Chains A and B, each alone.
Chain A
Amino acid sequence: MKPFTTIESVAAFIDEDAIDTDIIFPARFLLLLDKAGLAKHAFHERRHAPALKQPFILDRAPFTAAEILVARKNFGTGSSREQAVWCLADFGIRCIIAESFGEIFFANCFKNGVLPIVKSGEELKAIRKAAGEEQKIEIDLVDRTIRFQDGRVMAFEVDDYRRDALLNGLDEIGSILRDDGDDIVRFEERQRGRSSWLHLDPQKLSTFADLGKEKILD
C-alpha cells in the first residue's frame, strides 16, 4: 500500500447527501475480478447521464487531477463493495472529507491508502468554500492538520493505529500474523474448551461430503 504523509491538491465537492456505493460503483461492474483499472467506472451513471448540462465534476479541469473529495452526509452508505474505494483510489483520490460515512466504506478506505476525514458545521463549510474556489488544500497526516492557501490550519482526528498504517503503508495481516499469532493460538485453545461447538469437527463437516455429487436441481 502506498504510504500517505502529505498531499496537496484541489478538492472536488460533491454537493449531495447519501452518495451510496451503488452510485460510486454500479453493481454491474462488480463482475470484474481485479482491483486495478476501475477508475473508468467510478460514478459511471453520473458521468454518463444523457441530461448532463456540464461534465461531472471529476471530468472537469482542474478536478480531473483532484486527490481530495469533499462530500456531505452519509458518503459511501450501502453495500460493502470495496470496489467503491478501489475505483476512487485508482482515479487518484487519497482523501475524502465528509460529514459522515458509511461504516464499511470508512474501514475500506484505510485498507487502500485513502484517508477519510469527518468534518461538519463551519469547518466543513470552509473546506467546501475552498474547494469551490479551486484552491489547493494540504492534508498533513503527520500533524493531523488541514492547511488552506491563506495560512489557516484546521486539526482533524484519526485513530492512531489507522494513522500509523497509512503513514507506513503497513501490511496489517502481516503484522497480526507476526505479533499476535501466539495470542490467537491461545485464544483458540481456550475457546475450544469453553465453546467447542464453534469449531466444526470433521464429523459435522461430513454433511458436505456429497457436494458436487448430489442429485442436481434444475
Chain B
Amino acid sequence: MQIGYSHDKRAYALCGVRLDGFVREDARRPGECIVTGMNSTPKTLYEKVWADHVVKSYEDGTDLLYVDRHLVQEVSSPQAFAGLEAAGRKIRRPDAHISVADHAVPTRDRAAALRDGLAARQVERLVQNTEKFGIPYIPMRDRRHGIVHVIGPELGFTLPGAVLVCGDSHTCTHGAFGAIAFGIGASECECVLATQTLRQRKQKTMRVLLEGRRPDGVEVKDFILAVISSIGVGGGVGYAIEYAGSAVRDLSMEQRMTLCNMSIEAGSRIGMVGPDDKTFDYLRGRPLAPAGQEWDAAVEAWRGLASEPDAVFDREVVIDVSTLAPFVSWGTTPEECSPITGRVPDPAEEPDDGRRRRLQRSLDYMALTPGMPLTDIRIDRVFIGSCTNGRIEDLRRAAAVVDGHRVADHVAAIVVPGSAAVRAQAEQEGLDRIFLEAGFEWRSSGCSMCVAMNDDRLSEGERCASTSNRNFEGRQGKGGRTHLMSPPMAAAAAISGRLADVRKLGI
C-alpha cells in the first residue's frame, strides 16, 4: 500500500483499495495498515456499542445485553426495590448505580421539610432503599443534586460506548455521548439491579442527517421539533436514531443532549451522536470519568465508535436546518407544532378521519381557534428548565433575551436550573440577577413543571410557554395547556405576554 498513515477509510478508497473491515488505531507508522474484520458489514455506532455488550444471544434472535450504568430516581424505583426484597435478591454491582430524587422534590424552600406528605414519603423511601442496598444517594440539598439526565453527564457517570438505563423515558439524553441509553419500566429496573442485564432485541437503525448552517434565532430545540413534526410521534418506533451531519458536528455537548433528549418524542427510545473531541473535552476531569492512562486508553477506544462511512441505515431522514424558523407547539402531542410564523391549523382541511378527530380534540383542549396566528396566543405562565433545556447554555441564551426587559404583568415566570451546579454557575455569571430583575422567580434544581409532580404546576385552563419536552393533556397540571419551545422563545413569550418570534424582538 503506497499511502501514509491514516485512519480514514476514504483515504484508502482514493487509492483504489476498498476496505470492508476496521482500520485499527494501532497502525502508527507510515505505510503500515492493520485491518481487522475484513468482509464484515460496516457497522453503525449503535451496532458497535450493542455488539460490545452482548452477554449471550438466544435462539429467537434476542440478546442478553449488559448494562454498565443505571440512574435511579424516586418515582420508578420503589416497586423495583420492593420486588428485589420480596425475592431476597441483592444488587449485583452497587458501583453501577447512583440515585437522586428529582421528580417529586420542591424547587423552593428547600430548607423546610417536604410539605407534600406523599412526596416526602416517596423521597424517604428512596433514601431507605439506597441505604439498605448500598448505592450512593445524592440528597436534595447537595451541590451535586439535579435532574438525573443533567447530573449523569456532569459527574462523568455517562460515558461514550456505555449502555446506560434509567426508569425514565428521557434517558435517551445520554446518547449525546455515544452511549446506548434508554428508558425502561420499573420491572426492568429491578432486572438491572439484580442481574446487570436486560433481554432485548436489537433495534433497526435510522440516521437523521441535519445539514446546513443554523440561522440566527433558531435553536437546537427547533431542530428536534422539526424532526418530530416531520416523522411524527411514532416515526422512530423500532429504531435507534443516530443524529449526524454538519449541523450536529457544530453543536456543543449541551445542545446535543437537547437533541437526543427528545428522541422519545419521535417514538425512539434511543438517540445517539458519535463522540468526538467535544465529547472528550466535556468529560475530561469529571469525577467519575477515567483519568491518567485509563483516560488515554478510553479516548482511543471511543474514537473507534463512529459509524463507518459506508454503514447502511434502515432509514434515513435529511433536514436542511438553514431553512428552519423557531418552532412552537400548538397541540397536545409534540408533533403538533409549527414555525412561529404560522397559524393554528384548521381541522376542516384534514381529509383523514382519525387525524381530523385528533386535531379537533387538540384544539378543543388547547382552546385555540383554527386559522389564528400563533403569535396571537396569550400566555399566563413561563417555565424555563427541564432535562431538555435546563443547562447553563440554555439559561445563558434565555437571559440574553430577557436582559433589560420585564416579564409581562399578567405572566408568572420561573427558571428552574437542571442541577445545583447549573444554578451555581448561573449565579456566578449573574444570570440569576438578570432573571430576578426581569420578574422571573429563580428556583432550585428538579424536574418541576415539566412533570408537575411537585407544587410547580398549572391551574385548570392556564397556558404556559415551556422549554420542556411534552405538551400532553394535563402534563403540566390538570387542565393546563402547554406550548413547547426553545429557551430564547420562552423568554420572548415571557416579555411579550404571548407567543412571540424572538427574531422580531430586536434583541
List chain A positions with a Cβ less than 8 A from chain B.
15-18, 20, 22-23, 26-28, 30-35, 45, 72-74, 77-82, 85, 100-104, 107-108, 111-112, 159-161, 171-174, 176-177, 180, 183-184, 187-188, 191, 195-201, 204-205, 207-208, 211-212, 214-218
Q: Which residues of A contact B69 (CB under 8 A)?
A: 198
Cα distance A208–B197 in the bound complex, in angstroms: 25
Q: For the complex of A and B, list the 7 residue pairs with the smallest distance between their C-beta atoms, beginning with the closest.
A: A111-B187, A197-B290, A82-B185, A31-B118, A108-B185, A216-B141, A207-B287
Contact (A108, B66) CB under 8 Å given A34-B79, A173-B194, A184-B197: no
Docked Cα-Cα span, A212 to B142, in Å, equals 7
Give 28 pairs: A residue, B residue, CB < 8 Å, sorted on A.
Answer: A23-B473, A27-B474, A30-B103, A31-B122, A45-B478, A78-B470, A80-B167, A102-B237, A103-B238, A108-B185, A108-B188, A160-B60, A161-B62, A172-B199, A174-B87, A180-B197, A184-B197, A187-B55, A188-B66, A195-B298, A196-B290, A197-B294, A197-B297, A198-B162, A205-B136, A208-B136, A211-B142, A217-B110
Question: Which chain B residues lie closer than 8 Å to A27 at the CB level?
Answer: 451-453, 474-475
Question: Which of B250-258, B271-279, B354-362, B432-440 lies at the interface?
Answer: B354-362
Chain A proximity of B54: nearest CB distance (Å): 8
Interchain nearest-CB distance for A132 vs B (Å):
15
Cβ contacts under 8 Å, B233 to chain A: 18, 74, 77
Q: Is B119 part of the contact surface with A, judged by Cβ < 8 Å?
A: yes
Instruction: For B96, list chain A residues within 8 Å (CB).
Output: 200
Contact digits for B452-464, partner A, Cβ 8 Å, 1 yes 0 no: 1100000000000
What CA separation (Å) do A204 and B238 show in the bound complex?
Answer: 36
Q: How many of B's residues come within 8 Å of A, CB to CB?
A: 93
Chain B residues with CB under 8 A of A102: 237, 267
| Chain A neighbourhood of B190, CB < 8 A | 173
Please determine whether A17 and B474 come into contact, CB atoms closer than 8 angstroms: no
Q: Which residues of B contact A77 (CB under 8 A)?
A: 233-234, 267, 333
Chain B residues near A31 (CB, 8 Å)? Answer: 75, 104, 116, 118-119, 121-122, 453
- Is the CB–CB distance between B473 and A45 below 8 Å? yes
Complex-state Cα separation, A188 to B95, whole angstroms: 13
Q: Which residue of A lies closest to B193 (CB)?
A: A173
Compute how far the CA of A197 lies from the CA of B291 in the bound complex, rounded to whole angstroms: 9
Is residue B191 contacting chain A, with contact meaning CB distance below 8 A?
A: yes
CB pair B125–A33 under 8 Å, yes or no, is yes
Q: Give the CA-CA distance A176 to B65 in the complex, in Å.
A: 11
Instruction: Say whether B301 faces chain A, with CB atoms less than 8 Å apart.
Output: yes
CA distance A215 to B119 in the complex (A): 24
B375: Cβ under 8 A from any A Cβ: no
B25 to chain A, nearest CB (A): 14
- Complex CA–CA separation, A54 to B187 (angstroms): 36
Which of these, B121, B143, B237, B268, contacts A100 with CB under 8 Å?
B237
Chain B residues with CB under 8 Å of A188's CB are 66, 196
Which residues from chain A contact B197 at a C-beta distance below 8 Å?
176, 180, 184
Please name all residues of chain B whose beta carbon is closer than 8 Å to the beta carbon of A104 when the two chains form the complex: 169, 183-185, 269
Please pick, from B141, B159, B357, the residue contacting A218 in the complex, using a CB distance under 8 A: B141
- Determine the chain B residues whose CB is within 8 A of the CB of A172 once the complex forms: 191, 199
Alpha-carbon separation in the docked complex, A65 to B321 (Å): 51
Evaluate contact between B142 and A103: CB separation under 8 angstroms.
no
* B residues near A216, Cβ cutoff 8 Å: 139, 141-142
Give which listed residue, B110, B137, B161, contacts A211 with CB less than 8 A.
B137
Residues of A contacting B103 in the complex (Cβ-Cβ under 8 angstroms) = 30
Q: Per DSSP, are chain B's interface residues mostly helix, strand or loop, or mixed?
A: loop
B314–chain A nearest beta-carbon distance, Å:
16
CB distance from B330 to the nearest CB of A (A): 15
Residues of B within 8 A of A174 (CB): 87
Residues of chain B lying within 8 A (CB to CB) of residue A20: 333, 470, 472
Given A73-B354, A82-B187: 16 more A-B contacts, CB < 8 Å: A45-B473, A78-B472, A79-B169, A103-B268, A104-B269, A108-B185, A111-B188, A161-B60, A176-B199, A177-B194, A184-B66, A195-B161, A204-B287, A205-B288, A207-B287, A211-B137
Bound CA span A160–B420, Å: 46
> Is B95 a contact partner of A200 (Cβ separation < 8 A)?
yes
Decide if A196 touches B294 in the complex (CB within 8 Å).
Answer: yes
- Separation in Å of the A129 CB from the closest CB of chain B? 15
A196 to chain B, nearest CB (A): 6
Instruction: Give CA–CA (A103, B62) in the complex, Å.
Output: 16
B18 part of interface (Cβ distance < 8 Å): no
A159 to B199, CA, bound (A): 12
- The answer to whether B79 touches A35, judged by C-beta atoms less than 8 angstroms apart, is yes
Residues of B within 8 Å of A183, CB to CB, are 55-56, 64
Interface centre among B69, B143, B167, B188 (most CB of A within 10 A): B188
* B89 A173 Cβ-Cβ under 8 A: yes
Measured CB to CB, the closest approach of chain B to A102, in angstroms, equals 7
Question: Roughly how many angstroms separate A74 CA and B196 CA in the complex, as a whole number?
Answer: 30
Which positions 298-338 of chain B face chain A at CB distance < 8 Å?
298, 301, 333
Question: In the bound complex, how far is the Cα of B268 from the Cα of A74, in angstroms?
Answer: 12
Cα(A64)–Cα(B360), bound, Å: 28
Q: Mark B122-142, 1 if CB is under 8 A from A, else 0.
A: 100100000000001111011
Instruction: Pick the contact of A177: B104, B185, B195, B473 (CB < 8 A).
Output: B195
- Minimum distance in angstroms from A106 CB to a CB of chain B: 9
Contact A22/B58 with A176-B197, A184-B197, A200-B96 known, Cβ cut-off 8 Å: no
Chain A minimum-CB-distance residue to B290? A197
